[in-house]
Structure 1
Amino acid sequence: MLMNKRLQYLFLFSALSVVLSACSVSPTPKSVSGQYRGVIQSPGGELAFPIHLKANDKSLSGFVVNGADTAAFDEVKLKGDSLIMGYSYYDSYLKATVQSDGSLAGQWARRSEGGDYISMDFSAEKGKTYRYETESPESYPFDGEWQATFKEEDGTTFPAHGNFVSQPGGKLYGTFQTETGDYRFLDGVFTDSTFTLSTFDGPHAFLFKGKLQPGGTIEGDFWSKDTYHATWTAQKGENTLRNPLQISAEQAVGNHVTFSFPDLNGDTVSSADPKFVNKPMLVYLFGSWCPNCADEARMLRKLYAQEYRDTELQIVGLAFEYTGNFQKDADVVSRYKKRFNIPWTLLISGTSDKDKAAEQLPFLDQIISYPTSIFVDRNHNIEAIHVGFNGPATGSTYYNEIQRYKAHINAILE
């Protein structure tokens, strides 16, 4: 009798061990692959975006979808039940634990100005492919162009131009353009009187909400990352924003450009070096952390390869980064260089604080935005200054940007 009980206990222990062993099996790339509805918990509510993960032998790759744009992770790492989906060139990572039901729970961590990381709660449900639940509205009240005014919490206001396109089933796409750049590809849903739009591409975590008012205007809110909030109003109307060549102070045009900063190896490079003497230059101010700067770099790389590779044009990128630590900043700019296969000179020029950056560049009265592109003639005098950059999400405005760059490059090459 005692022996039978021992055998029963042994059997139960063995069965329990098998169950526990099965429960503790680590996720694999194959089991983790699939589609997810990712959510960052914004102060304004759920900031949602679709995530696609794909198993490649023993590794993973993936991307986030924002309207017509896909933001591919440059690294996806699975170790045990820990999953990291990263944009290393932005120092931005989704870090999560794979749950027993296949969902993800963790944090979005991204380096911010000053060098510290911000962190926000992140989760993702597997098998859900929608961004936000949709209805079937009877009207399409948000289509077209809108003149908007944003008001920050300290009372500061700035103009913007909204452009939205509806699709059947309550889908809404579009962007806001400002005088210093655009908010890239916004994706979401609408009803007969409200809309929700969001985007997440590594550095950007934007959430917009709008509500149609009785007079046909829109009132809304805008949240960015963990703390930024602004309200906004809009009325139907065409784009009235200033030309980006007219924003910077007129007196800067004609100023003599000089610079001297370390390259990615720590060697000092100066505008007086032989390679720049009597050569026209495009000197652009950027940050590896800046998506509008990334849009500009992608455009410049293509334009340079197609039309200016065999000319005397010299391009110099002056990087203003978050940490102020040379090696950390050089590392992240090196990833930027590799990402866009950039053949021209990149220099570590200071921190992203605009006032401090302007002190490094006496030929500018102020720095209004990243990116800022300075067209410099053979005598190294400023021919024109282009503030900000409107990328492919702005459609025809993006095409006009390219034409402006070409016109001023051709002018300094003469």
Structure 2
Amino acid sequence: MKKILSLFSIILFLTSTFIFSSCNSKKENDMKLPSGIWRATLQQQEGAVLPFNFEVNYSENENDTIPTFTLINGEEKILLDNVVKKGNVFTIPMHIFEGEIVAEWNAANQKLVGKWNRRSFTNASSLDFSATPNTKTRFEANQTAKFDLSGKWETYFLSEGDSSAALGVFEKIETADVKGNLKGTFLTTTGDYRYLFGSVSNDSLYLSCFDGSHAFLFVAKAENSTTLKGKFWSGKGQPVDFVATRNPNFTLPKADTLTYLKEGYETITFEFPNLEGTLISLDNPKYDGKVRIVQLLGSWCPNCMDETNFLTELYSTYNPKGLEIIGLAYEQTEDFEDAKKRLERMKKRLNVEYEILFAGRADKQFAAQTLPMLNHVMSFPTTIFIDKTGKVRKIHTGFSGKGTGEYYDNYVESTTNFVEKLLSE
């Protein structure tokens, strides 16, 4: 009898444990994050904290417990919709980029805590991540701005004795409820720092951007209304000092003069595989008598993605009139199958209909070796414009995206006009 009771007790205990575990498991699986705007932070070097915002949303299906996340950088919205949920742990892939946020929801503390992991061919990194719901504020400082810092700034980033020039362009964003917000970016000869968003508090400037690939933080003090001194953090790297002076007339070197054909060349040649493995060159009959744009890019490069969005629209409009675009992708892998997966994901996300070829690893010197008729490859992206006879007519280094405002608008207008000119010849 004792044995029967003992066996019954064991069965009862196991059954209870199973029911309890099942209930807990069901409870965890049914758990939902609070919807709405969140404030997140990444811990950078020297104790710097980079803040950014994202929005959590669910579908209209009340049983849906897997949310979408949308990164918010001012006007930019980046949808992250391939989220994986296991209990209260969320893995959030970073759009088309190689990396993810892996974080655990702590209901008691109302915090999502984990890591942002960025995978890279040469520079993988991981930063501590934390986020709290129902917080739209990006930077916590909220004192009245002492200076109006909108306008154009001649800027120099100082690194190991060298300096590189940039043009800062900032614009105030003020509403009846919010004062001191600022948006803008820094333009350089190789591209821009995309959508920066932040605020001015007392005599200090705070700007940040997180797009899933890059994590940028700028903090500076205004000595007066015309001079800024500060630090810039990028990902896990050490901060770089920068100085800026208000200068509405400052300009960078013309992007069409930095990369050019070596003496004796009028054309470019290459042969790389497309994503089906077929070797493609400009000698293919498909390109005979066509105006061609050759884009040097990488799926890991946000500036390249900004340009790809523009070129996709350009292709849609002008391909029926004789324009062809060929992308030469230099990837953070040397393996064709791995590169293919990344590039197919990019094409799907950005609705790219033009040909993309795998050109090799993401290295400027390597890219220059594959195109020896160029003086160098200074930047991803670089864009080469070729007329109907096969002659190179213009090479544009870098790209100024939508975050640059008037500079993007001017580039779109001038490039569209130039393509129309080539098509009319």
With normalisation by structure 1, the TM-score equals: 0.90
Q: How many pairs align?
A: 401
Q: Report if aligned partners of 2:35, 2:58 keep a CA contact under 8 Å in 1.
A: yes
Q: Report if aligned partners of 2:145, 2:200 keep a CA contact under 8 Å in 1.
A: no
The aligned residue for residue 87 of structure 2 is 80
Tell me, yes or no, if structure 1 residue 327 matches structure 2 residue 337.
yes
Partners of 2:77 and 2:263 in 1: CA distance:
38
1:254 Cα deviation after fit: 5.1
The aligned residue for residue 109 of structure 1 is 117
1:303 Cα deviation after fit: 2.2
Q: Report if aligned partners of 1:375, 1:412 keep a CA contact under 8 Å in 2.
A: no
Match of 1:384, as an amino acid? K
Of the structure 1 ranges 212-221 and 237-246, higher mean CA displacement relative to structure 2 is found in: 212-221
The aligned residue for residue 67 of structure 1 is 74
Tell me, yes or no, if structure 1 residue 46 matches structure 2 residue 49.
yes
SS at match of 1:26: helix
The aligned residue for residue 131 of structure 1 is 138
Partners of 2:259 and 2:370 in 1: CA distance:
17
Match of 1:266 among 271, 277, 282: 277
Partners of 1:23 and 1:74 in 2: CA distance:
24
The aligned residue for residue 372 of structure 1 is 382
Partners of 1:284 and 1:271 in 2: CA distance:
13
SS at match of 2:117: strand
SS at match of 1:30: coil
Match of 2:142, as an amino acid? E
Q: Equivalent residues in 2 for 1:364-403 (5 A)?
A: 364-403=374-413
Partners of 2:225 and 2:420 in 1: CA distance:
48
Match of 2:407, as an amino acid? T
Partners of 1:341 and 1:21 in 2: CA distance:
43
The aligned residue for residue 39 of structure 2 is 37
Partners of 1:138 and 1:169 in 2: CA distance:
8
Q: Percent identity?
A: 33
Partners of 2:364 and 2:138 in 1: CA distance:
35
SS at match of 2:96: helix
Partners of 2:204 and 2:418 in 1: CA distance:
42
SS at match of 1:94: strand
1:250 Cα deviation after fit: 6.3
Partners of 2:21 and 2:314 in 1: CA distance:
60
Match of 1:109, as an amino acid? N
1:278 Cα deviation after fit: 2.9
1:23-46 per-position Cα deviation (integer Å, ceiling 9, x unaligned)? 993154634534321111111511
RMSD: 2.6
SS at match of 1:213: strand
In the alignment, structure 2 segments of 5+ residues that lack a partner are 1-11
Q: Report if aligned partners of 2:78, 2:95 keep a CA contact under 8 Å in 1.
A: no
Tell me, yes or no, if structure 1 residue 362 matches structure 2 residue 400.
no
Match of 2:204 among 194, 198, 208: 194
Match of 2:411, as an amino acid? E
1:412 Cα deviation after fit: 2.9
The aligned residue for residue 8 of structure 2 is none
Q: Report if aligned partners of 1:282, 1:409 keep a CA contact under 8 Å in 2.
A: no
Match of 1:342 among 352, 364, 384: 352
Match of 1:247, as an amino acid? L
Of the structure 1 ranges 403-412 and 224-233, higher mean CA displacement relative to structure 2 is found in: 403-412
Partners of 2:377 and 2:107 in 1: CA distance:
50
Q: Report if aligned partners of 1:253, 1:383 keep a CA contact under 8 Å in 2.
A: no
1:55-104 per-position Cα deviation (integer Å, ceiling 9, x unaligned)? 22323212011111112114222121210122241112111111232311
Partners of 1:22 and 1:113 in 2: CA distance:
41
SS at match of 1:202: coil
1:360-385 per-position Cα deviation (integer Å, ceiling 9, x unaligned)? 11221210001100001223221100
Match of 1:302, as an amino acid? E
Match of 1:386, as an amino acid? H
Match of 1:158 among 161, 164, 177: 164
Q: Report if aligned partners of 2:259, 2:374 keep a CA contact under 8 Å in 1.
A: no
Match of 1:79, as an amino acid? K
Match of 1:286 among 297, 302, 305: 297
In the alignment, structure 1 segments of 5+ residues that lack a partner are 1-9
Partners of 2:264 and 2:181 in 1: CA distance:
45
With normalisation by structure 2, the TM-score equals: 0.87
Partners of 1:177 and 1:409 in 2: CA distance:
24
Match of 2:197, as an amino acid? D
Partners of 1:64 and 1:277 in 2: CA distance:
42
1:241 Cα deviation after fit: 0.9
Partners of 1:395 and 1:253 in 2: CA distance:
38
Of the structure 1 ranges 391-400 and 295-304, higher mean CA displacement relative to structure 2 is found in: 295-304
1:117 Cα deviation after fit: 3.2
Of the structure 1 ranges 366-375 and 242-251, higher mean CA displacement relative to structure 2 is found in: 242-251
The aligned residue for residue 6 of structure 1 is none
The aligned residue for residue 255 of structure 1 is 266
The aligned residue for residue 241 of structure 2 is 231
The aligned residue for residue 288 of structure 2 is 277
Partners of 1:94 and 1:323 in 2: CA distance:
21
1:250-287 per-position Cα deviation (integer Å, ceiling 9, x unaligned)? 64795321110011121111221111223221001001
